[in-house]
Amino acid sequence: MYYQTKLSNGLKLVIIPKNNSKTITALVLLPAGSRHESLKLHGASHFIEHMMFKGTKKRPTSLAIAQELDGIGANYNAFTGKDHTGYWIKTVNNKMETALNVLSDMLFNSLFKAKEFCQEKGVILEEIKMYQENPLLYINDFFENTIYQNHPLGQLISGQLSDVKKMNRQKLLAYKKIFYQPHQMVVAISGGVDKLQVINLMKKYFAPYHGAKKQGSFKIFNRKKIKIKDKVKILFKDLKQTQIALGGLAYHYNHPKIEALKLLLVILGGNMSSRLFTEVRVKRGLAYAINADFDIYQDIGNYGIFAGVDKNKTQEAVEVILKELKKIKDKGVTKEELIRAKDYIEGSTGLYLEDSANLAGWYAKQILLTGKIFTPKEKLAKMRKVQRKDIQNVAQDIFKNINISLIGPIKDKNIFLRLLKKEI
């Protein structure tokens, strides 16, 4: 069970007690991600996330923040996505007040000193280089750029090197002022918590802050307006291995076929008994790992199949993957496969939600991005209703406009364009 309420300043609060848990996680989510940024502010959401750990009025340095949280043995971090930013602290039950005190101080009282701003530019530039120079880390970003093109969903969350170099502190603060308002925040607290204690602490540390009733916005993705020029996109790198990403557009958060999509991707490449793992790794030895996954947003989503293969076997691997997609389109999945996939999702969901941090994220993300909550039990009940024909319908729907992104020593994209025409 969970308890949901709203503070006087409009902040949304959800409490998820977990019996016998000795830890709690406090998570704050905000609707500020790379898709909310203007052309001149690419990377702003991510930059702000970094700056929030650089000191507050009460804790004037990053060391002061770190020492206080390290002093209670807490785990803490933050993350930026394309549609939201999150800050979290996980600690033992009796240190919850410290966690909420520090979180509220960071969110509402960060200093954003000019010296720290300039210094953090260098840190972020190195972070971008680390990702872009590592094909395994960069392939998903490269792939989503292939799919979404110049739409904000196709841009790097961190921004490009040139974007960060040009970042202006005053414009960054103006952007922050739009999104870092209590009425746009969702706070989830899960674990061994007492509801009344949580509410009292939230009133003490979060309710006193009020802000302008501004509302952030983002550009809706319109499939009809996006014309993909290159269905095969290659980033040439002189390596011994090619990173492959293959996939296309799918569904948004509230789409009625989302559960069938999840099951399809589990059967296709979600675990070590999946079709692609069996065919690509076990039978042919083409890749150490291969997986199928998806990203979903409020208005659209995409799926992708990812693998790293020997540079001389890239064509073979892509051909095998495409043939597996065609099999599911043409013949569907077996009764046994569907049963196993449902059992897998139910079991993995249970394991995932054992962690209070994941439990907090489950509820907070739904509130922030969809405005409603489905409990794990309700979600699994929807998934259990999916039938074989539903899986095949999804495959026929999404396996028709496929894109391929490759990072490696590949020069001729025509080979892969021909494969797309031949197999799909």
Q: What CATH number has the domain bearing residue 94? A: 3.30.830.10
Would 385 be classed as within a structural domain? yes
Candidates 222, 48, 220; CA nearest to 124 is: 48
Asked if 193 and 254 sit in the same domain, the reply is: no
Asked if 298 and 377 sit in the same domain, the reply is: yes
Would 214 be classed as within a structural domain? no
Q: What is the pLDDT of residue 223?
A: 85
pLDDT band at 423 (very low <50, low <70, confident <90, very high): confident
Over residues 134-147, mean pLDDT: 96
Candidates 136, 38, 59, 140; CA nearest to 103 is: 59
Mean pLDDT lowest among 135-139, 216-220, 269-273: 216-220
Would 223 be classed as within a structural domain? no
pLDDT band at 215 (very low <50, low <70, confident <90, very high): confident
Domain that holds residue 244: 230-423
Q: What is the pLDDT of residue 26?
A: 98
Q: What is the pLDDT of residue 229?
A: 73
Asked if 291 and 392 sit in the same domain, the reply is: yes
Would 225 be classed as within a structural domain? no
Q: Across the chain, what does the average pLDDT equal? A: 96
For residue 22, report the phi and psi dihedrals to the nearest 5 degrees.
-95, 0
Does residue 351 carry a pLDDT above 80?
A: yes
Asked if 180 and 58 sit in the same domain, the reply is: yes
Asked if 168 and 303 sit in the same domain, the reply is: no
Would 217 be classed as within a structural domain? no
Q: What is the pLDDT of residue 172?
A: 96
Q: Which of 205, 239, 255 is the last residue of a domain?
A: 205
Strands (E), 153-280: 186-191, 232-236, 241-249
Over residues 257-261, mean pLDDT: 98
pTM of the model: 0.95
pLDDT tens per residue, range 353-396: 999 999 999 999 999 999 999 999 999 999 999 999 999 999 99
- Dihedral angle of Cα 325, 331, 334, 338, to the nearest 10 degrees: 50
Alpha helix stretches (DSSP H) within 166-313: 169-179, 195-205, 258-269, 275-276
Q: What is the pLDDT of residue 387?
A: 98
Long-range contacts of 339-347 (CB under 8 A, 24+ apart): 340/273, 341/263, 341/266, 341/267, 341/270, 342/263, 342/383, 342/384, 342/386, 344/266, 344/270, 344/271, 345/262, 345/263, 345/266, 345/380, 345/383, 346/380, 346/383
Q: What is the pLDDT of residue 135?
A: 97
Over residues 8-14, mean pLDDT: 97
Would 44 be classed as within a structural domain? yes
Would 221 be classed as within a structural domain? no
Asked if 30 and 129 sit in the same domain, the reply is: yes
pLDDT tens per residue, range 268-279: 999 999 999 999
Does residue 142 carry a pLDDT above 80?
A: yes
Does residue 418 carry a pLDDT above 80?
A: yes
Does residue 144 carry a pLDDT above 90?
A: yes
Give Cα separations from 377 to 14, 182, 271, 391, 423 (angstroms): 17, 30, 22, 21, 39
pLDDT tens per residue, range 288-337: 999 999 999 999 999 999 999 999 999 999 999 999 999 999 999 999 99
Q: Which of 205, 239, 264 is the last residue of a domain?
A: 205
pLDDT band at 154 (very low <50, low <70, confident <90, very high): very high
Q: What is the pLDDT of residue 227?
A: 73
Asked if 250 and 352 sit in the same domain, the reply is: yes
* Eight-class DSSP state of 224: G
Does residue 424 carry a pLDDT above 80?
A: no
Asked if 133 and 257 sit in the same domain, the reply is: no
Does residue 213 carry a pLDDT above 80?
A: no
pLDDT tens per residue, range 49-83: 999 999 999 999 999 999 999 999 999 999 999 99
Asked if 37 and 179 sit in the same domain, the reply is: yes
Asked if 165 and 246 sit in the same domain, the reply is: no
Q: What is the pLDDT of residue 242?
A: 98
Over residues 178-194, mean pLDDT: 96
Asked if 295 and 340 sit in the same domain, the reply is: yes
Over residues 88-105, mean pLDDT: 98
Distance CA 402, CA 398 (A): 8
Name residues whose C-beta falls within 8 Å of residue 41's C-beta, 6 or more positions apart in sequence: 167, 171, 172, 175
Name the percent of the chain lying above pLDDT 90: 93
Q: What is the pLDDT of residue 107?
A: 97
Does residue 214 carry a pLDDT above 80?
A: no
Over residues 164-175, mean pLDDT: 96
Name the percent of the chain lying above pLDDT 70: 100
Asked if 183 and 294 sit in the same domain, the reply is: no
Over residues 20-29, mean pLDDT: 96
Would 147 be classed as within a structural domain? yes
Does residue 285 carry a pLDDT above 90?
A: yes
Q: How many domains does the chain have?
A: 2
